[in-house]
Amino acid sequence: MEFYPPNAPVPQERRTDRLYLRPLRATDVEIDYDAVMSSAAMLRAWSQSDWPADDFTLAENLADLVRHEREHLARQAFTYTVLDPSGARCLGCVYIVPLRPDEVALCPDAAYAADVGFWVRASEVPNALDEHLLETLQEWFREEWALDRVLFTVAERESRQAGLLAAAGLPRLAPCTLDRGGRCWVYGRPRSRPRVSLGESMAEFKKQLQQGIVQQAYRGLLEYMLGLRTYFAGIFPGGAVAGSVYHGYMDMTYFALFPEALRQRKLKAAVVFVYDTFRFEVWLSAANKQVQARYWTLFRESKWERYPVVPALEGADSILEHILVDNPDWNDPDGLTRQIEIATRHFIGDVEDFLSTH
């Protein structure tokens, strides 16, 4: 997969009544520096790094802008400054870069694909400029860019942008890891699957079943989940574990946990195997939508950063979601169970500690 077609033009600008997008240049150093330092704390959280440090200098910013401009001209990555309509004040920045290795699998049919990150000044967030910028970018990519697929990455605990992306019809697809070690979520339009009739899909299902592997794997998974539930029933006594496992429709399989501190608040935890990502997660869920909304608001407004809050309630079954095991080792089920137990205990303990003070 390549980044951008070698013969395709690179769009030069995009204007709306609220902003002006154009390539970032080294000559923008002073207005860019002003925007960066006005939002330093926000950007450190956004980038999951120490950039920009409190003592970040104009000269250091110039070095960054020279690099961005050089990469832009070489078509290695594209960086755009977000200006006010007059072009006099910097309001933010947009980064369009090649996919990271763990994003490539999300775009198997794309010849050209990119990863996008963006930010606006902290003072512009209350004015929803970030939402307007996202809408502008989506239109721009659709109308002028020669890209088959565009993905957006957001820091694992960045709830504001995550909510904007989800509300824009860009669901969370998968986790990824930055080169510097930070954890992110990847958002984008789900890859379209070929539309087939029920007869065609059943014929393919029959073909796969005749090989015998699907039945073996599915039976093994359900047996493991049943055994895992039984194990948890032994370490969480007093009826704190649901009596059955929800098998699902090859979307998720889970069982619920009802520790007393959660049960009193009509909350529960769930150990979930997610088929699309093929990993184990733990979710904080609620007995009903009203309770879910109340605690979703509590976690979101408290700015608690221990675990990601789901971006939006619409279509969500949970309040918090946390990855327990990203790549399960099915050849070591006992070790896998220990991993899940330890991570689940930490999650429940952290949630209980939070709720005890709120």
SS3 of residue 224 by DSSP:
helix
Residues 127 and 247 in one domain: no
pLDDT attached to residue 195: 66
**What letter does residue 45 receive in the DSSP assignment?**
H
Residues 307 and 345 in one domain: yes
Residues 156 and 50 in one domain: yes
pLDDT attached to residue 267: 96
The answer to the question of residue 6 being in a domain is: no
Residues 285 and 228 in one domain: yes
The answer to the question of residue 160 being in a domain is: yes
What sign has the CA pseudo-torsion 34, 36, 189, 151? Answer: positive
Rounded Cα gap, residues 283 and 224, in angstroms: 19
Residues 34 and 174 in one domain: yes
Domain with 320 in it: 199-356
Residues 60 and 115 in one domain: yes
pLDDT-based confidence at residue 156 (cuts at 50, 70, 90): confident
CATH number, residue 106: 3.40.630.30
Residues 30 and 119 in one domain: yes
Which residue would you say has higher pLDDT here, 198 or 116?
116
pLDDT attached to residue 307: 86
User: Which backbone phi and psi does 317 adopt, to 5 degrees?
Assistant: -100, 0
The number of distinct structural domains making up the chain is 2
pLDDT attached to residue 71: 97
Q: Is the pLDDT of residue 257 over 80?
A: yes
Domain boundary among 129, 164, 187: 187
Residues 132 and 71 in one domain: yes
pLDDT tens for 101-129 read 889 888 888 899 999 999 999 999 999 99
Q: Is the pLDDT of residue 264 over 60?
A: yes
Q: Is the pLDDT of residue 314 over 90?
A: no
Name the percent of the chain in helix, strand, coil, to the closest 5.
40, 20, 35
SS3 of residue 55 by DSSP:
coil
Q: What is the dihedral of CA 5, 9, 12, 13, to 10 degrees?
A: -80
pLDDT-based confidence at residue 194 (cuts at 50, 70, 90): low
pLDDT-based confidence at residue 327 (cuts at 50, 70, 90): confident
Quickly tell me which residue has 């980064």 as its tokens. Answer: 95
181: exposed, middle or buried (C-beta count within 10 Å: 0-12, 13-18, 19+)? exposed
The answer to the question of residue 1 being in a domain is: no
The answer to the question of residue 2 being in a domain is: no
pLDDT attached to residue 282: 96
Asked whether the beta carbons of 176 and 184 are under 8 A apart, the reply is yes
Q: Is the pLDDT of residue 179 over 80?
A: no
Residues 286-290: what's their mean pLDDT? 92
**What letter does residue 13 receive in the DSSP assignment?**
-
Residues 297 and 330 in one domain: yes
Rounded Cα gap, residues 14 and 35, in angstroms: 20
What is the number of residues in the chain? 358
Residues 206 and 314 in one domain: yes
- The rounded percent of the chain whose pLDDT value lies above 90 is 73
Residues 238-264: what's their mean pLDDT? 92
pLDDT attached to residue 239: 78
Q: Phi-psi bin for 221: left (phi > 0), alpha (psi -120 to 50), beta?
A: alpha
SS3 of residue 295 by DSSP:
helix
- Show the beta-strand stretches assigned E in 188-278: 252-257, 267-274
Domain boundary among 139, 154, 187: 187
- The pTM score is 0.68
Residue 89: closest CA among 20, 11, 13, 12? 20
Rounded Cα gap, residues 183 and 179, in angstroms: 10
SS3 of residue 212 by DSSP:
coil
Least confident of 24-38, 77-91, 229-243: 229-243
Residues 156-179: what's their mean pLDDT? 83
Residues 204 and 183 in one domain: no
Rounded Cα gap, residues 14 and 82, in angstroms: 10
pLDDT attached to residue 191: 64
Least confident of 118-122, 148-152, 222-226, 239-243: 239-243
Domain boundary among 142, 163, 187: 187
pLDDT attached to residue 214: 93
Least confident of 211-220, 264-273, 310-319: 310-319
